[in-house]
Chains A and B, each alone.
Chain A
Amino acid sequence: EPEVTQTPSHQVTQMGQEVILRCVPISNHLYFYWYRQILGQKVEFLVSFYNNEISEKSEIFDDQFSVERPDGSNFTLKIRSTKLEDSAMYFCASASGGGAKTQYFGPGTRLLVL
Chain B
Amino acid sequence: EDQVTQSPEALRLQEGESSSLNCSYTVSGLRGLFWYRQDPGKGPEFLFTLYSAGEEKEKERLKATLTKKESFLHITAPKPEDSATYLCAVQVRNDYKLSFGAGTTVTVRA
Contacts and interface: CB of A to CB of B under 8 A. Distances in A.
B51 A91 contact: no
Contacts of B44: 43, 91, 105
Q: Report, as a range, how many residues of chain B touch the other chain.
A: 20 to 34
A59 B98 CA distance: 15
A91 B51 CA distance: 24
Nearest to B47: A102
Contacts of A107: 42-43
Interface stretch (B19-27, B65-73, B89-97): B89-97
B108 to A, nearest CB: 22
A18 interface: no
B43 A91 contact: yes
B43 A106 contact: yes
B93 to A, nearest CB: 9
Interface in A49-68: 55-56, 58
Contact of A110 (B41, B91, B100, B103): B41
Interface in B9-37: 31-32, 34, 36
B83 interface: no
A102 B49 contact: yes
Q: Max chain B CB contacts within 10 Å: which of A33, A43, A56, A108? A: A43
Given A100-B31, A100-B32, A100-B49, A108 B98 contact: no
Contacts of B91: 100
Contact of B95 (A4, A33, A56): A56
